[in-house]
């Protein structure tokens, strides 16, 4: 035989006959030489493939050890169940038994994870050679999937059923066991924050009333690692610079069906910022100029996020001034007596390293330009490690990927780096049907389609249709977040709403289409500009309706064109959870055409946590004014206060009314102040129930109709006090309001109970 030799093999044995058969060629170490070779037992594997693994030439002298090596090489291919290498005189016999092929792969005993989910974890493939090592890897992967779903006691056993044609069925026999829940989460070492407050920081939850629905109450080791980081970030953002989560003890209960988690916390001391200075080691970087962009102030609570934001501001200022390769080193010194951390931003020369290229992999759907739009760096720019970390955070925040890693590696030269982006796509669309209920509008059926990454372009598209007791609404919203490749958001909103007011003697139709553009003007401020064209009409007016409404309906349908802006400032933008936050929103709309008016609205709100952050206090003031310079307002234009703005009254339950028909007319002006609190209740917190109390004070007024017989047309304040019950469920947040008017008019329509619930199924 020619062309023989072999490299790998499987289970077998070299018989003792190796030492006794074949003719010795020399004294000393026993050697063999074979004039022929015979392969037995192979069915699918070619004889030449087996011989090619030996590496022994015909007539070559070989030792017993080399024959053993050849047998081991054949076994290493993973193709054979047994291998015997037997010298018989001048002939070498290789006797093999091939591994069978896999006919079918089945799963038995699985209920919580379906066959499709488990099949995606398995590396064994039907109609391919069965491999015991691969089956073991598959078993481990399935067991890990059950651990991730909270079933740490699941047992997975692979079994094979042999068939006549040298094939087997591979069956994974699964005993799922019960879900291993988190029975209790406790903390050791926390002095300034209660266990309840710290539990709200964690991703993991205690098992509670809805344990069959909530999935975060199961024990997952990877989630515990995330919880440690969340807890550390929580403390450090509140001034505890030395805070650490030293370890997490996870102990099984005596019944071994639940875990008891204990986080061992070292809080350390709380610090404020002391002196904040900028120093420069670069002649071209004037420290005084960069001091002006620093926003951290003395006396402010220490936070690493505040320092990172200042570093980013300084680096951006350097780029604007054409200073490259500037590195900012925050140097912190402690004033233990004063409880202060002094910060020195040292401007030092950075390494002269450039970005050679940016490689993106794993984006099967999302276009490269969508990912590249999150970079503030392009090929050829100076390399900035902080900016690369920020880019990774922005890519993850898109929500398009289950995993996103951004790393730098050496490039083709010592002063070059390559930035690798590896992402794993995840579903970004949803189709849902549900029920919405509010006391203002009653129940409504909702169907919606939403896609956050439309055609892989990073665009969002949302379509929603709802129909309820009093209204039907159709909305379409499209947004391009990177219009013209810039941080400019372009959108189109389309809304059609038809009301069938059971509590009013008229109906309305409204259609509005509005293209808009939005862009940031500061770190936490954003402006949007819009144009809108709107059609409104009043229909089906009852004979008993107000004369004012009848006259407005006689005007027929009216088209209105307008331009306007909205400004918002929110301290929660680009920030982690903080104890105090502020929100301000304001906007104006200028209408022209058949009617000319200016509508102005504004809202300011502040919230803060007190008593160890267990209690939330919130204050809100909002209002609006509608000024007509040509024409008069109609009931479709004026403000009506529902329970979202002024609790304790029906929609249209306060404000101007027709003195004859008692029809609510709405008003051209409104103002409301809301004060409220949210606090824990003495019930198990895993139920997600908390309490609240509130006071609302405000009014709506000014119909703008001279000579009409209207009551309540002037500013007449109302006030209401109430208690709230919050229930945070996986099906949606529920809020129950129980109210009592403190100041009201006889013609008002109070609403002593209000329920808001939003559920989807």
Q: How confident is the model at residue 217 (pLDDT cuts 50, 70, 90)?
A: low
pLDDT tens for each residue of 245-268: 999 998 878 777 788 899 999 999
Would the CATH topology of 12-98 be identical to that of 101-175?
A: yes
Please name every residue paired with 679 in a beta bridge, in sequence order, or none if there are none: 691
CATH topology of domain 431-760: Porin (2.40.160)
Above pLDDT 90, what percent of the chain? 50
pLDDT tens for each residue of 613-631: 999 999 999 999 999 988 8
Torsion of CA 389, 390, 396, 398, to 10 degrees: -160
User: From CA 345, how far away is CA 509, in angstroms rounded?
Assistant: 60
Residue 3 pLDDT exceeds 90: no
Residue 24 pLDDT exceeds 70: no
What is the mean pLDDT of the segment spanning 308-315?
91
Which of 462, 496, 366, 492 has the alpha carbon at shortest distance from 421?
A: 366
Domain 272-349, CATH class in plain words? alpha beta
User: From CA 754, how far away is CA 653, in angstroms rounded?
Assistant: 14
What is the mean pLDDT of the segment spanning 696-725?
90
> Which of 79-83, 160-164, 239-243, 503-507 has the highest average model confidence (pLDDT)?
239-243
| Confidence (pLDDT) at 58 | 64
What is the mean pLDDT of the segment spanning 511-523?
93
Q: List the end-to-end C-alpha distance of the chain, in Å, as a whole number.
A: 71
Superfamily of domain 101-175 in the CATH hierarchy:
membrane protein fhac (3.10.20.310)
| Confidence (pLDDT) at 575 | 59
| Confidence (pLDDT) at 366 | 93
Which of 431, 426, 435, 434 has the alpha carbon at shortest distance from 456?
A: 426
When comparing pLDDT for 90 and 269, which is higher? 269
Residue 485, number of CB atoms within 10 A of its CB = 9
| Confidence (pLDDT) at 163 | 84
When comparing pLDDT for 732 and 536, which is higher? 536
At 579, phi and psi to the nearest 5? -75, -30
Length of the chain equals 761
What is the mean pLDDT of the segment spanning 123-137?
88
When comparing pLDDT for 16 and 208, which is higher? 208
CATH topology of domain 354-425: Ubiquitin-like (UB roll) (3.10.20)
pLDDT tens for each residue of 477-507: 999 998 988 889 999 999 999 987 666 788 8
Q: Per the structure block, which two tokens stand in for 394?
A: 């922005």
pLDDT, averaged across the chain: 85
Q: Where are the domains of the chain?
A: 12-98, 101-175, 181-266, 272-349, 354-425, 431-760
pTM over 0.75: no
| Confidence (pLDDT) at 442 | 63
pLDDT tens for each residue of 159-198: 989 887 778 899 999 998 777 778 889 999 999 999 999 9
**CATH number for the domain whose boundaries are 12-98:** 3.10.20.310
Question: Residue 412, class by beta-carbon neighbours within 10 Å (0-12 exposed, 13-18 middle, 19+ buried)?
Answer: exposed
What is the mean pLDDT of the segment spanning 657-666?
89
What is the mean pLDDT of the segment spanning 391-420?
91
Left, alpha or beta for 655 (phi > 0: left; psi -120 to 50: alpha)?
A: left
Which of 59, 80, 65 has the alpha carbon at shortest distance from 30?
A: 65
What is each CA distance from 694 to 339, 660, 738, in whole angstroms?
A: 37, 34, 10
Q: Detail the DSSP E strand segments found in 253-363.
A: 258-266, 272-280, 326-335, 340-349, 354-361
The arrangement of strands across the sheet holding 244-252 comes to 181-188, 258-266, 244-252
Residue 155 pLDDT exceeds 50: yes
Eight-state DSSP code of residue 47: H
Min mean pLDDT across 94-98, 295-299, 541-545 is at 94-98
Indicate the CATH number of 181-266 among 3.90.1170.20, 3.10.20.310, 3.90.340.10, 1.20.120.550. Answer: 3.10.20.310
What is the mean pLDDT of the segment spanning 677-695?
88
Q: How confident is the model at residue 724 (pLDDT cuts 50, 70, 90)?
A: very high
Which residues have CB under 8 Å from 182's CB, separation 6+?
Answer: 204, 205, 206, 207, 217, 218, 219, 258, 259, 261
């Amino acid at each position: 035989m020619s062309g023989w030799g072999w490299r790998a093999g499987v289970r077998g044995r070299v018989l003792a006959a190796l030492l006794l058969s074949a003719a010795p060629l020399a004294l000393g170490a026993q050697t063999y030489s074979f004039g022929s070779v015979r392969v037995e037992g192979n069915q699918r594997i070619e004889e030449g493939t087996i011989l090619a693994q030996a590496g022994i030439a015909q007539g070559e002298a070989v030792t017993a050890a080399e024959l053993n090596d050849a047998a081991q090489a054949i076994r290493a291919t993973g193709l054979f169940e047994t291998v015997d290498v037997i010298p018989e005189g001048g002939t070498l016999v290789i006797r093999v038994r091939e591994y069978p092929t896999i006919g079918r792969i089945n799963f038995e005993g699985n209920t919580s994870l379906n066959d499709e989910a488990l099949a995606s974890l398995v590396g064994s493939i039907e109609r391919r050679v069965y491999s015991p090592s691969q089956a073991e890897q598959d078993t481990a992967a399935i067991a890990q999937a059950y651990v991730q779903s909270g079933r740490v006691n699941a047992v997975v056993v692979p079994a094979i059923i042999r068939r006549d044609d040298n094939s087997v069925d591979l069956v994974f026999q699964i005993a799922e066991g019960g879900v291993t829940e988190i029975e209790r989460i406790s903390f050791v070492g926390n002095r300034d924050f209660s266990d309840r407050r710290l539990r709200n920081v964690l991703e993991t939850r205690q098992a509670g009333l809805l344990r069959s629905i909530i999935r975060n109450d199961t024990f997952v080791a990877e989630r515990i690692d995330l919880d440690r980081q969340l807890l550390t970030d929580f403390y450090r953002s509140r001034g505890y610079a030395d805070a650490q989560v030293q370890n997490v003890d996870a102990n099984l209960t005596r019944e071994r069906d639940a875990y008891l988690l204990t986080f061992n916390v070292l809080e350390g001391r709380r610090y404020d910022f002391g002196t904040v200075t900028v120093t420069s080691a670069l002649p071209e970087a004037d420290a005084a100029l960069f001091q002006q962009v620093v926003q951290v102030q003395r006396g402010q609570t220490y936070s690493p996020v505040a320092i990172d934001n200042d570093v980013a501001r300084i680096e951006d200022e350097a780029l604007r001034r054409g200073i490259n390769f500037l590195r900012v080193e925050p140097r912190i010194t402690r004033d233990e007596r004063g409880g202060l951390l002094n910060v020195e931003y040292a401007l030092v020369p950075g390494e002269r390293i450039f970005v050679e290229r940016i490689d993106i992999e794993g984006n099967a759907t999302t276009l490269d330009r969508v990912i590249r739009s999150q970079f503030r760096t392009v090929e050829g720019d100076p390399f900035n490690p902080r900016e690369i970390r920020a880019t990774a955070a922005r890519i993850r925040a898109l929500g398009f990927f289950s995993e996103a890693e951004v790393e730098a590696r050496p490039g083709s030269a010592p002063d070059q780096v390559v930035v690798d982006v590896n992402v794993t796509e995840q579903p970004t669309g949803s189709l849902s049907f549900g029920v919405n209920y509010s006391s203002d509008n009653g129940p409504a059926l909702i169907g919606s389609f939403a896609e956050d990454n439309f055609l892989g372009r990073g665009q969002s598209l949302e379509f929603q249709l709802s129909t309820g007791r009093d209204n039907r609404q159709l909305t379409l919203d499209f947004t391009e977040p990177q219009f013209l490749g810039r941080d400019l958001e372009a959108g189109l909103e389309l809304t059609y709403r038809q009301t069938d007011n059971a509590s009013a003697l008229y109906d309305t139709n409204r259609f509005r289409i509005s293209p808009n553009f939005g862009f940031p003007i500061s770190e936490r401020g954003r402006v949007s500009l819009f144009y809108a064209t709107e059609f409104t009409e009043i229909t089906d007016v009852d004979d008993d309706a107000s004369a004012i409404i009848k006259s407005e309906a006689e005007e027929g349908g009216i088209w209105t064109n307008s331009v306007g802006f909205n400004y918002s400032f929110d301290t929660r933008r680009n920030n982690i959870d903080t104890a105090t936050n502020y929100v301000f929103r304001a906007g104006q709309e200028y209408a022209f055409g058949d009617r000319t008016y200016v509508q102005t609205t504004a809202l300011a709100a502040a919230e803060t946590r007190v008593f160890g952050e267990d209690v939330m206090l919130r204050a809100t003031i909002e209002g609006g004014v509608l000024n007509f310079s040509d024409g008069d307002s109609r009931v479709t234009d004026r403000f009506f206060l529902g329970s979202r703005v002024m609790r304790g009254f029906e929609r249209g339950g306060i404000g101007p009314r027709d003195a004859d028909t008692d029809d609510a007319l709405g008003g051209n002006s409104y103002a409301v102040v809301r004060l409220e609190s949210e606090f824990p209740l003495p019930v198990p917190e895993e139920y997600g129930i908390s309490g609240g109390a509130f006071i609302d004070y405000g009014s709506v007024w000014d119909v703008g109709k001279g000579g009409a017989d209207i009551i309540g047309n002037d500013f007449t304040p109302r006030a209401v006090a109430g208690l709230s019950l919050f229930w945070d469920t996986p099906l949606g947040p529920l809020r129950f309001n129980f109210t009592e008017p403190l100041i009201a008019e006889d013609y008002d329509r109070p609403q002593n109970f209000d329920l808001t619930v939003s559920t989807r199924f």
